[in-house]
Amino acid sequence: MFLGFFLALRQAGVKASLREFLTLQQAMQAGLAGFDAEHFYFLARATLVKDERLLDKFDQVFAAHFKGVLGPAPSGPEAVEVHELPAEWLRALAEKLLTEAEKAEIEALGGFEALMETLRQRLAEQQGRHQGGSKWIGTAGTSPFGAQGYNPEGVRIGQEQSRHRRAVKLWDQRAFKNLAGDAELGTRNLQIALRRLRRFAREGAAQTLDLPGTIGATARNAGYLDLHLVPERHNAVKLLLLLDIGGSMDDHITLCAQLFTAVRSEFKHLKHLYFHNCPYERLFTDARMRPQDAIATHDVLHTYDHNWKLVIVGDAAMSPYELISPGGAVSYWNEESGQTWLGRLLAGFPKSVWLNPVPERHWVYAQTTRLISEQMEGRMFPLTLEGLDGATRTLAR
């Protein structure tokens, strides 16, 4: 049943759905993977991964999960009788893993009962074939695929029968590594990033009267009025952008600012403000941050209501006191700590994200990054395509 594999994939961020999982089983039943471990790998890949950026992750999970299986067949408690479990695990699985949309989809398929009935039938078929000695069924009435992974007696992995023996397993070659989405934003990705932001801008746009459409439809309708609406070109989304300027992050921040400026025409409201290292009681309307550019953070909180979405861009790395103690700011005396001010901003703008140009794997090394990331409650995203996706999705929710 590869349940473990499925769960591991989901955990690693390859969000295969139950539907796809069932498709894979269906494909196995249809004998599409034959006797060959490599074919099974191809089949699972074609069924469960729909984004080339996730192929590398898939390979890693596959390698990790099926590594031990190359040894002797699992026996004892390892070789779980999956046949008795479906009702429980399916429900548990659904509760744990499915999004509301997926749950709705299952309802549309006839609900869990129907789904489980199908599953039961499939398992029965499998059992039936077992008597006939199907190649997928191992010995002693065990399912070929224990909950822990797969049984080499069902699929002859790495044995002479395998048609394509290789020194390095395909999934260990990590051929899709350079397609992974966690590469930093470069010029190549900029284009795509722009598109994502545009799409974000257009989502949920309001409807307006489509005059040409209405005239056309009315004419077609022999003169009876037929109103047509179209989504408005500009989105009502209001974005407040806070940029950390000055210091090592300048290049990245500039890049990010350019990104948002490029899509500015798509947003009806987009406002830039600047800060250095950490936002305190003053923010700046100009990147030069001269005294005359200052604007009180309180005023910002009152000018832009909670319908504005807040995007903070910065590396979140500074000396700890800059964040946690009053008077810690580098450029002037702050009465209250950066943490306090950040808290105010987050309270004022319930829809907020932090974009961090530093690669995610380095975040743990800076104490303040950890603190801010905690304060953001999981809404700090790396400045990568994936991060941008996550951020816009969070903001749109």
Partner 1 sequence: MRFEGTRNFVATEDLKVAVNAAVALERPLLIKGEPGTGKTVLAQEIAEALGRDLIAWHIKSTTKAQQGLYEYDAVARLRDSQLGDARVHDISNYIIKGKLWEAFEADTAPVLLIDEIDKADIEFPNDLLLELDRMEFHVYETSQTIRARQRPIIVITSNNEKELPDAFLRRCFFHYIKFPDRETMQRIVDVHYPGISHMLVHEALTSFFTLRDLPGLKKRPSTSEFLDWLKLLLAEEIGPEILRETNAAKLIPPLHGALLKTEQDVHLFERVAFLARRG
* Residues lying near partner 1 in the complex (CB under 8 A): 17, 19-20, 23, 26-27, 30, 32-33, 38-39, 42-43, 45-47, 49-52, 55, 101, 105, 164, 175-176, 179, 192, 195-196, 199, 202, 219-220
CB of 165 to partner 1, least distance (A): 13
Of 140 and 222, which has the nearer Cβ to partner 1?
222
CB of 65 to partner 1, least distance (A): 19
Return the SS3 of 245. Answer: coil
Of 17 and 369, which has the nearer Cβ to partner 1?
17
- In the Cβ-directed half-sphere of 355, how many Cα atoms lie within 13 Å? 33
- By CB atoms closer than 10 A (0-12, 13-18, 19+), residue 301 is middle
Rg (CA), the chain: 27
Of 28 and 80, which has the nearer Cβ to partner 1?
28
Residue 34 makes CB contacts below 8 A (sequence gap 6+) with: none
CB of 257 to partner 1, least distance (A): 24
Contact 329, 275 (CB under 8 A): no
Of 102 and 336, which has the nearer Cβ to partner 1?
102
CB of 19 to partner 1, least distance (A): 5
CB of 182 to partner 1, least distance (A): 17
What token pair was written down for 335? 């009465």
Of 39 and 122, which has the nearer Cβ to partner 1?
39
Triad 276, 280, 285: Cα angle to 5°? 60
Contact 36, 162 (CB under 8 A): yes
What token pair was written down for 38? 């490599």
d(CA 180, CA 194) in angstroms, rounded, equals 18
Handedness of CA 178, 182, 187, 188 (dihedral sign): positive
Beta bridge partners of 247: none
CB of 104 to partner 1, least distance (A): 11
Of 41 and 275, which has the nearer Cβ to partner 1?
41
Q: H/E element holding 381?
A: strand 380-382
CB of 201 to partner 1, least distance (A): 12
Of 100 and 377, which has the nearer Cβ to partner 1?
100
> Inter-axis angle of helices 187-202 and 385-396, to 10 degrees?
10
